[in-house]
C-alpha cells in the first residue's frame, strides 16, 4: 500500500474519531421522534455490541471497519429502544460510509438501514436504487422497501413488496451473494412475513410462490417483476384489469391467443406458448392477490 493511500486512510479514521469525541462532549438531548417512527425496532443482523457506554474505539480500524462499527452501534441502540443514542451516531456513520472510495451492496444496505433509523425516505430510496443497479430483484432492496412501507403503515405497498419478494426469493438466494449471507436473518424474517401474509389472505404460501414464480418466468419481462408494468408492457395491477372489466377468462385468452392493442400503446400481445391452463390459473391468482393488496377488487 502506498504512503499516500496510508495517509488517506489515516485521515479518514482520524476525522471519524474526532467526530466521536465532539459528539460525546457536545451532544445534548435529542428531539422527540415523529409518531410515524414509533414502531418496535426489528433485528438488523448487526454484530453484537456488549456495551453502549462511551463512544466506539475507531483508532485501530480501517475506514470500512470504522463505518461498520458505527453501523453496529446504531443498530444495537435502535434494537434496544434507545433512539436518542442511535440518532447520535447517525451523522458520523453516514460521513464514514460517504468517505469510502467505493460502496459495495452490503454498504448500501447498511446506509439504507441507517437512514431508516433517521426516517429519511429519500435517502433510503437512493440506496434501494443502488442495490437494484446490481440486481433488479435484490432481496435487500425489498427488505428496505418493506421497512419503509411498514413504518408508513402503507399496507398495500407492503403486500406488493411481499409478493415481489416471494417471486424473487428462490432465484436470488441461489446466487449466494455475500450480502445475503451477511444478512440472512433479515431476509428469512421477511420470507416468514410473506408466508404469513399469504396464509392470512386464505391462500397458501406454496400457491403464492408457484404463481409468483410462473409470473416471473412468463410475464415479468413485459409486465414488470411485480405486475407494475415496464417499458415493454402495461401494469396488471391497474383498475383496467379489475375482475369486473377483465375477468379471469380474458387472461386465459390473452395467454393462449394473444391480444390486440386496445388500452395501451405497447402494441399487440403475442400468445405465450408452453403455459398450461393450470399454470395460467396460478398466475391469475397471483395477479389478483397483488390487485387486492392495491385496493383493486
Structural domain count, the chain: 1
Domain hosting residue 296, numbered range? 207-297
Residues in the chain: 297
With respect to residue 244, please indicate whether it lies within any of the assigned structural domains. Answer: yes
Cα–Cα distances (Å) from 1 to 59, 104, 238, in that order, read 19, 21, 56
CA 270 to centroid of chain Cα atoms:
33
Cα–Cα distances (Å) from 156 to 165, 232, 293, in that order, read 14, 24, 5
Q: What pLDDT score does 211 carry?
A: 82
Alpha helices in 135-154 (DSSP H): 139-151
Q: What pLDDT score does 4 carry?
A: 46
With respect to residue 107, please indicate whether it lies within any of the assigned structural domains. Answer: no
With respect to residue 225, please indicate whether it lies within any of the assigned structural domains. Answer: yes
Q: CA-CA distance, 116 to 129, in Å (whole number)?
A: 15
Q: CA-CA distance, 116 to 123, in Å (whole number)?
A: 9
pTM above 0.75, yes or no: no
With respect to residue 245, please indicate whether it lies within any of the assigned structural domains. Answer: yes
The tens place of each residue's pLDDT in the chain, 297 residues long, gives 444 444 444 444 444 444 433 333 223 333 333 333 333 334 567 665 545 556 666 778 999 999 999 999 999 999 899 999 999 999 999 999 999 999 999 999 999 999 999 999 999 999 999 999 989 999 999 999 999 999 998 887 888 888 888 888 889 999 999 999 999 999 999 988 887 776 665 555 555 667 888 888 899 899 987 888 899 999 998 989 888 888 887 888 889 888 888 888 888 999 999 888 778 888 888 888 888 878 887
With respect to residue 58, please indicate whether it lies within any of the assigned structural domains. Answer: no
pLDDT digits (tens, 9 = 90+) for 79-123: 899 999 999 999 999 999 999 999 999 999 999 999 999 999 999
Report residue 106 as a C-alpha cell: 452490503
| Burial group, residue 172, by CB count within 10 angstroms (0-12, 13-18, 19+) | buried
Report residue 274 as a C-alpha cell: 408452453
State the CATH number of the domain containing residue 263: 1.10.760.10
With respect to residue 280, please indicate whether it lies within any of the assigned structural domains. Answer: yes
With respect to residue 136, please indicate whether it lies within any of the assigned structural domains. Answer: no
Using alpha carbons only, how large is the chain's radius of gyration in Å?
23
Q: CA-CA distance, 193 to 191, in Å (whole number)?
A: 5
With respect to residue 229, please indicate whether it lies within any of the assigned structural domains. Answer: yes
- Per-residue burial over 247-256, b if 16 or more Cβ lie within 10 Å, else e, is eeeebbebbe
Q: What pLDDT score does 102 carry?
A: 95
CA angle 263, 296, 207 (to 5 degrees): 105
Amino acid at each position: 500500500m502506498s504512503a499516500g493511500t496510508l495517509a488517506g486512510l489515516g485521515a479518514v479514521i482520524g476525522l471519524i474519531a474526532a467526530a466521536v469525541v465532539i459528539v460525546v462532549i457536545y451532544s445534548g438531548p435529542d428531539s422527540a421522534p415523529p409518531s410515524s417512527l414509533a414502531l418496535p425496532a426489528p433485528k438488523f443482523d448487526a454484530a453484537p455490541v456488549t456495551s453502549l457506554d462511551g463512544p466506539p474505539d475507531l483508532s485501530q480500524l480501517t475506514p470500512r471497519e470504522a463505518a461498520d462499527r458505527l453501523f453496529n452501534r446504531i443498530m444495537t441502540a435502535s434494537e434496544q429502544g434507545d433512539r436518542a443514542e442511535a440518532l447520535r451516531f447517525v451523522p458520523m456513520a453516514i460521513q464514514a460510509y460517504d468517505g469510502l472510495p467505493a460502496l459495495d451492496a452490503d454498504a448500501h444496505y447498511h446506509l439504507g438501514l441507517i437512514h431508516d433509523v433517521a426516517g429519511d425516505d429519500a435517502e433510503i430510496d437512493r440506496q434501494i436504487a443502488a442495490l437494484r443497479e446490481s440486481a433488479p430483484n435484490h432481496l435487500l432492496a425489498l427488505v428496505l422497501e418493506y421497512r419503509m412501507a411498514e413504518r408508513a403503515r402503507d399496507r398495500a405497498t407492503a403486500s406488493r413488496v411481499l409478493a415481489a419478494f416471494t417471486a424473487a426469493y428462490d432465484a436470488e438466494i441461489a446466487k449466494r451473494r455475500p450480502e445475503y449471507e451477511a444478512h440472512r436473518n433479515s431476509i428469512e424474517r421477511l420470507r416468514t412475513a410473506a408466508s404469513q401474509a399469504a396464509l392470512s389472505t386464505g391462500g397458501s404460501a406454496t400457491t403464492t410462490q408457484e404463481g409468483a414464480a410462473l409470473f416471473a418466468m412468463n410475464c415479468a419481462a413485459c409486465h414488470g417483476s411485480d405486475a407494475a408494468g415496464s417499458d415493454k408492457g402495461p401494469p396488471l395491477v391497474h383498475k383496467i384489469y379489475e375482475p369486473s372489466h377483465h375477468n379471469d377468462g380474458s387472461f386465459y385468452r390473452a395467454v393462449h391467443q394473444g391480444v390486440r392493442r386496445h388500452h395501451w400503446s405497447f402494441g399487440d400481445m403475442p400468445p405465450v406458448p408452453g403455459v398450461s391452463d393450470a399454470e395460467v390459473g396460478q398466475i391469475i391468482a397471483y395477479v389478483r392477490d397483488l390487485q387486492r393488496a392495491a385496493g383493486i377488487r
